Amino acid sequence: MSDRSYRRPRALSPLREHLRDTFWFAPTVGLILVFVLWWGAAELDIKIVAYLQDEQEYETVRDLISFADDTKTIVTTISSAMMTFIGVVFSISLVAVQMASGQLTPRVVRIFVRSRISKLTLTVFLATFVFSLLVLTSYESEADPQRVTSVPLVQSVLTMVLVGLSLLLFIAYVSSTLRLMQVGPVVDHITREAFGMLGRAPIGVRDAAPLAPESAWLAHQGRAGVLRDVNVARLVRAARRQGVVLRLIPRIGDFVVPGMPVLAVHGEGKPSRQALRYTVSVGVERTFTQDLGFGLRQLSDIALRSLSPAVNDPTTAVQCLDRIVQFLAALMKAPLGTAHHRDGKGTVRLVQDAPGWADLVDLGLAEVRLFALGNPQVTRRLLAGIDDLLLLAPEERREPLLRHRALLVQAVERTVPGAAEREFALEPDRQGIG
């Protein structure tokens, strides 16, 4: 199968991905910015008072002092209550995340950690708390409008603005956290992330000429971890300079350890270690960047947990099957399998192994099929999904679907004793059982 629209995967920045997986970076940046904001507001307050004194507008200065005295009580209340509010909110949120991870999959925690609204809410909460403390240091005991040097007018207004923003973000944050506890929104989020990475998947030109004999291989150096991303552009440049072809040995999502071969060299020559720096990104867990099967893996995990005797929630498995069928249907005519990436002159420089159609069908259906026995709701939905995919599948991609359908029918006929029950369990139904 040839690919008519070659797409070079976007390289992943290890630093950017690491920061997205942390919960400290955004609040830290927010605290630094709030110090800058306070300093600017304090300087503006000093200039306002100095201008009014130069213009001998002492009555206006007296009014500002009165306004600042009124707002001081509010600012003091905010500074004393904000930290308690932060602790209560995020303690409840962590309980909610723990419940979601126990009911669905531990990988749900990743959604919470990478959530922009969660990080923004914590950042604004902490910024409001710190800003209110800084504003309290700007109040003066001097009440004479001719001798006062600063009245925290702008600072008080900014404190009120931060409080209002905190309340709005609190509403959005609670809504986001509650959605994390619902099966439908979580499954939908995973599916949207899986579709969002299709443009970054390793899709290159197929049916290239046979490779030259392997002359060397390059071992992985650094920490052990999951292969999350490869910088295709850098690898293609390094191979072009040496006139060789590089072949990525592990797939995206494989676990690699130091000393394991990651790149095979085909042809004469060998790229230097310097030229291959920052071409392979390794992390502690899989990500959606370039990992075509990660979405199916998570959907399958949620379905399997829902089918366990401890949970026994086949409706959740049906919801996951809906999305699995949707994702497989989107990949029905996509070029899959080994990708051949070319340089500017059209010469193959990088060969990258990727999941094929059969691999993805097995990932999405095999484990669910094995645990669906005894749940007619799931077997009926699974059969309907396979039949729908068969209607869309070209001839060369029907075999894995037919194989799973035959295995499911055989398993149901073998495990369900009654003929009527077997007939009921093997009747395709897109809703399972209505």
Place of tokens 């990088």: 350
Three-state DSSP class for 200? helix
pLDDT digits (tens, 9 = 90+) for 216-228: 888 888 889 999 8
Confidence of residue 3 (pLDDT cuts 50, 70, 90): very low
Residue 264 has pLDDT above 50, yes or no: yes
Exposed e or buried b per residue across 194-209, where buried means at least 16 C-beta atoms within 10 angstroms of its C-beta: beebbebbbbbbeebe
Among 289, 335, 425, CA closest to 3: 335
Three-state DSSP class for 106? coil
Residue 281 has pLDDT above 90, yes or no: no
pLDDT digits (tens, 9 = 90+) for 90-138: 888 888 888 888 778 888 888 888 888 889 999 999 999 999 999 988 8
- The dihedral sign for the CA sequence 227, 230, 236, 242: negative
pLDDT at 201: 65
Residue 1 has pLDDT above 50, yes or no: no
CA distance 426 to 372: 12
Q: Are 79 and 133 in contact (CB under 8 A)?
A: yes
pLDDT at 139: 82
Name the more confident of 103 and 247: 247
Residue 2 has pLDDT above 60, yes or no: no
pLDDT at 317: 94
- How deeply is 85 buried, as exposed, middle or buried, from its count of CB atoms within 10 A (0-12, 13-18, 19+)? middle
What is the domain partition of the chain in residue ranges? Answer: 14-181
pLDDT at 53: 81
pLDDT digits (tens, 9 = 90+) for 396-420: 999 999 999 999 999 999 998 889 9
pLDDT digits (tens, 9 = 90+) for 312-324: 899 999 999 999 9
CA distance 1 to 357: 12
pLDDT at 274: 79
Residue 86 has pLDDT above 90, yes or no: no
pLDDT digits (tens, 9 = 90+) for 367-394: 999 999 989 999 999 999 999 999 999 9
pLDDT at 367: 95
Name the more confident of 141 and 193: 193
Region 169-189: mean pLDDT is 88
pLDDT at 353: 87
pTM of the full structure: 0.82
Residue 284 main-chain phi, psi, to 5 deg: -85, -20
pLDDT at 202: 60
CA angle in degrees (0–180, nearest 5) for 88-188-300: 100
Query: In sequence order, what DSSP letters do the residues of 22-46 get, joined into one string?
Result: -SSHHHHHHHHHHHHHHHHHHHHHH
Confidence of residue 5 (pLDDT cuts 50, 70, 90): very low
Residue 202 main-chain phi, psi, to 5 deg: -70, 80
Tokens encoding 362: 């097995």
Percent of all residues in the chain with a pLDDT value above 70, rounded to a whole number: 93
Region 137-155: mean pLDDT is 79
Tokens encoding 236: 């293609």
pLDDT at 65: 81
pLDDT digits (tens, 9 = 90+) for 17-61: 677 778 888 899 999 999 999 999 999 988 888 888 888 788 888
pLDDT at 322: 95
pLDDT digits (tens, 9 = 90+) for 102-114: 778 888 888 888 8
